């Protein structure tokens, strides 16, 4: 069954791809612009593509003519549009991937293709290492170096997946095992269970059956499946993510789950603790001095036998959690149910896909008592950012919603661009409840300038939330280089908060720095950065990062009742 919004997302992606491929192919610039404008129109349309197509009303949307309406109708019917198939057929597949690299775009990729025959990441890397780009106008040594860095980053990220996909793959495989072997104890493990921001493989632990029995039961679930030792079945999920299934004796299931969930350092510390108590913890089995397995059917059993409380999976990184557990000093980590609401949600007033009322209704369905609207500021022209007059009118609409007494309480905010000098792009004369201050430009400032910029931004103090503090996009680009210690110290001094941007492509602030922010007493805001109603649920990934950063409910702004700044 098609989920709501699926056709819209596919339509936007197809139109964006058409725009890129058409420009790569050297087609009429007006056609390129028409595809790009249509993608934005569909993203902001008040109604879904399927419904409009069914009524023959697609051309009622601004920027949608008969040709693009035919493309959208084909997509709504599950077909590949003919123009997309034709462009894909005459454009090397690697060009679109090149166009997505930072520092490149369709025009420059077309130049590389036509002048040097470069049509893939590998060819671009070779050309950069051979200094061949220097012969092209507009491609100097600095550009060549940055492109080589981008290619190397993309190569490192190629086999990894974002946390939601890694978790989904693991849960799919676990569900397939349960269906084939009812009653078997099965759990996801590895990086996904630790809520690592990116996952290089899905790990599943299963009690009882042999790898051969598992292979037979799973049939064709995994590609290239094979037995990799006495207790392991490995293969490839259809998504391309490697999968490793580890079997364990029923009596040692808990010990195996701990072993295959924790980082190398975490299990090493547990093994050291076991040895100090005359036991041996190795290869997922706890044994006594005679080599006999000690029953650990559950994780609690393993930790109890090591005289420790159960340690939440997110903390199992070998970063002080074993010592804290031994001292009965583990934090009471935040739970998703602790959230009372969230700020950082976008509407159709800027680049969101849903109205103010639709976003409010989605927050109410989640049981939230408040929702903070943070549409882009005027400097974000690409996102239809709001000037003072539009922001004031939005505030009036929010006030009317609140006066009607409909839940949730809507908070007036903005996502203000942090300008190059650290100034916030917000009209001071418009009253707001909060400001999400985010960097969207000038990523390549020097570390000193970038640090000064963010220190100035958080210097506005209470009411300011530093949005996605490093600007990273997981598996796409590293964050800008900044002295986060200095920024967090400045936030602690001023009373500003920092965001954990819960969008799974960001998860920024990184969990390692969340822990430092918590130690400094900097308030944390878990923001979904939602551009559609379903995006509000992304707070679950922000909760995972907060837990991994040792945060409690007391450390998180949106686990507290509004107002926060009294």
Give a yes or no: residue 33 inside a domain.
Answer: yes
Give a yes or no: residue 59 inside a domain.
Answer: yes
Token pair of 369, please? 């008592």
Q: How many CA atoms lie within 13 A of 433 on its CB side?
A: 20
> Cα–Cα distance between 284 and 270 in angstroms, integer?
11
> Cα–Cα distance between 55 and 276 in angstroms, integer?
73
For residues 386 and 304, state if they share a domain: no
Give a yes or no: residue 565 inside a domain.
Answer: no
Give a yes or no: residue 201 inside a domain.
Answer: yes
Predicted confidence (pLDDT) at residue 275 exceeds the cutoff of 90: yes
Q: Supply the pLDDT for residue 59.
A: 85
Return the SS3 of 134.
Answer: helix
Query: What CATH number corresponds to the domain at position 298?
Result: 3.30.460.10
Predicted confidence (pLDDT) at residue 4 exceeds the cutoff of 50: no
> Cα–Cα distance between 253 and 297 in angstroms, integer?
5
> Cα–Cα distance between 411 and 418 in angstroms, integer?
21
Q: Supply the pLDDT for residue 1.
A: 39
Return the SS3 of 206.
Answer: strand
Q: Supply the pLDDT for residue 157.
A: 66
Q: Supply the pLDDT for residue 226.
A: 87
Where among 326, 360, 375 does a domain terminate? 326
Of 487, 479, 414, 499, the residue nearest 457 (C-alpha): 487
Predicted confidence (pLDDT) at residue 26 exceeds the cutoff of 80: yes
Q: Between 51 and 21, where is the model more confident?
A: 21
Q: Supply the pLDDT for residue 141.
A: 86
**414-462: pLDDT as tens digits:** 999 999 999 999 999 999 999 999 999 888 899 999 999 999 999 999 9
Give a yes or no: residue 522 inside a domain.
Answer: yes
For residues 143 and 227, state if they share a domain: no
For residues 13 and 144, state if they share a domain: yes
Where among 281, 307, 326 does a domain terminate? 326
Cβ burial 385-421 (10 Å sphere, 16+ → b, else e): bbeeebbeebbebbeebbeeeebbbbbbbbbbbbbee
Token pair of 119, please? 């049509």
Distance of CA 419 to the CA centre of its chain: 25
Q: Supply the pLDDT for residue 527.
A: 98
Query: What CATH number corresponds to the domain at position 127?
Result: 1.10.150.110
For residues 152 and 264, state if they share a domain: no
Token pair of 321, please? 């959690």
For residues 172 and 188, state if they share a domain: yes
**Number of domain units in the chain:** 3
Predicted confidence (pLDDT) at residue 158 exceeds the cutoff of 80: no
Q: Supply the pLDDT for residue 566.
A: 67
For residues 76 and 99, state if they share a domain: yes
- Does residue 17 contact residue 26 with C-beta atoms inside 8 Å? no
For residues 316 and 403, state if they share a domain: no
Q: Between 488 and 49, where is the model more confident?
A: 488
Q: For residue 263, how many other CB atoms are within 10 A of its CB?
A: 16
- Does residue 546 contact residue 539 with C-beta atoms inside 8 Å? no
Q: Supply the pLDDT for residue 500.
A: 98
Residue numbers of the domain that contains 410: 336-559
Where among 157, 172, 200 does a domain terminate? 157
pLDDT class of 151 with cuts at 50, 70, 90: confident
Predicted confidence (pLDDT) at residue 5 exceeds the cutoff of 80: no
User: Can you tell me the mean pLDDT for 334-350?
Assistant: 96
Predicted confidence (pLDDT) at residue 103 exceeds the cutoff of 80: no
Give a yes or no: residue 566 inside a domain.
Answer: no
For residues 181 and 313, state if they share a domain: yes
**137-150: pLDDT as tens digits:** 888 888 888 888 88
- Does residue 241 contact residue 161 with C-beta atoms inside 8 Å? yes
For residues 314 and 360, state if they share a domain: no
Predicted confidence (pLDDT) at residue 159 exceeds the cutoff of 80: no
For residues 41 and 144, state if they share a domain: yes
Q: What residues form DSSP beta bridges with 473?
A: 477
Give a yes or no: residue 564 inside a domain.
Answer: no
Predicted confidence (pLDDT) at residue 512 exceeds the cutoff of 90: yes
Average pLDDT of the residues of the chain: 91
Give a yes or no: residue 331 inside a domain.
Answer: no
Which segment of 30-34, 290-294, 388-392, 492-496 scores lowest on mean pLDDT? 30-34
For residues 428 and 501, state if they share a domain: yes
User: Can you tell me the mean pLDDT for 374-395?
Assistant: 94
For residues 151 and 170, state if they share a domain: no
Q: Supply the pLDDT for residue 37.
A: 86
Query: What CATH number corresponds to the domain at position 532?
Result: 3.20.20.140
């Amino acid at each position: 069954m098609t989920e709501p919004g699926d056709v819209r997302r596919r339509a936007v992606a197809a139109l964006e791809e058409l725009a890129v491929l058409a420009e790569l192919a050297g087609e009429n610039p007006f056609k390129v612009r028409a595809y790009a404008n249509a993608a934005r129109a569909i993203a902001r349309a008040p109604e879904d593509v399927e419904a409009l197509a069914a009524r023959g009303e697609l051309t009622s949307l601004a920027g949608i003519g008969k040709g693009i309406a035919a493309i959208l109708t084909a997509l709504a019917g599950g077909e590949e549009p003919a123009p997309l198939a034709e462009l894909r057929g005459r454009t090397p597949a690697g060009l679109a991937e090149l166009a997505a690299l930072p520092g490149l775009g369709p025009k420059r990729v077309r130049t590389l293709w036509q002048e040097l025959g470069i049509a893939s990441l590998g060819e671009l890397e070779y050309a950069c290492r051979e200094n061949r780009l220097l012969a092209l106008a507009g491609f100097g040594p600095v550009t060549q170096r940055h492109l080589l860095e981008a290619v190397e980053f993309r190569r490192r990220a190629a086999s990894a997946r974002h946390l939601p996909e890694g978790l989904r793959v693991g849960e799919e495989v676990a569900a397939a095992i349960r269906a084939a072997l009812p009653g078997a104890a099965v759990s996801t493990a590895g990086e996904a269970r630790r809520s690592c921001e990116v996952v290089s493989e899905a790990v599943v632990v299963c009690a009882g059956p042999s790898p051969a029995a598992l292979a037979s039961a799973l049939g064709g679930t995994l590609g290239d499946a094979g037995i990799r030792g006495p207790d392991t079945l490995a293969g490839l999920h259809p998504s391309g993510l490697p999968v490793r299934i580890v079997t364990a004796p029923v009596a040692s299931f808990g010990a195996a789950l701990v072993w295959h969930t924790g980082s190398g350092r975490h299990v090493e510390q547990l093994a050291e603790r076991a040895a100090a108590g005359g036991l041996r913890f190795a290869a997922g089995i706890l044994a006594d001095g005679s080599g006999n397995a000690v029953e650990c059917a559950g994780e609690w059993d393993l930790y109890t036998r090591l005289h420790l409380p159960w340690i939440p999976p997110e903390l199992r990184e070998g970063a002080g959690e074993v010592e804290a557990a031994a001292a009965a000093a583990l934090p009471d980590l935040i739970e998703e149910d602790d959230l009372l609401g969230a700020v950082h949600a976008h509407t159709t007033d800027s680049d969101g896909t849903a109205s103010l009322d639709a976003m409010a209704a989605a927050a109410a369905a989640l049981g939230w008592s408040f929702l903070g609207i943070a549409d882009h500021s005027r400097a974000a022209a690409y996102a239809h950012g709001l000037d003072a007059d539009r922001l004031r009118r939005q505030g009036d609409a929010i006030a009317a919603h609140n006066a009607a007494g409909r839940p949730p309480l809507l908070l007036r905010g903005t996502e203000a661009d942090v300008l190059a000098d650290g100034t916030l792009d917000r009209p001071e004369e418009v009253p707001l409840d909060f400001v999400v201050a985010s960097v969207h430009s000038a990523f390549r400032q020097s570390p000193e300038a970038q640090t000064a910029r963010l220190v100035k931004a958080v210097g506005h103090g209470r009411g300011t939330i530093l949005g996605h503090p490093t600007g990273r996009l997981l598996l796409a680009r590293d964050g800008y280089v900044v002295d986060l210690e200095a920024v967090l110290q400045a936030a602690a001094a001023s009373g500003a908060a920092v965001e954990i941007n819960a969008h799974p492509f960001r998860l920024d602030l990184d969990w390692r720095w969340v822990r430092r922010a918590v130690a400094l007493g900097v308030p944390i805001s878990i923001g979904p950065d939602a551009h559609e109603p379903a995006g509000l649920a992304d707070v679950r990934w922000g909760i995972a990062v907060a837990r991994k950063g040792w945060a409690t409910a007391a450390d998180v702004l949106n686990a507290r009742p509004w107002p926060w700044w009294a």
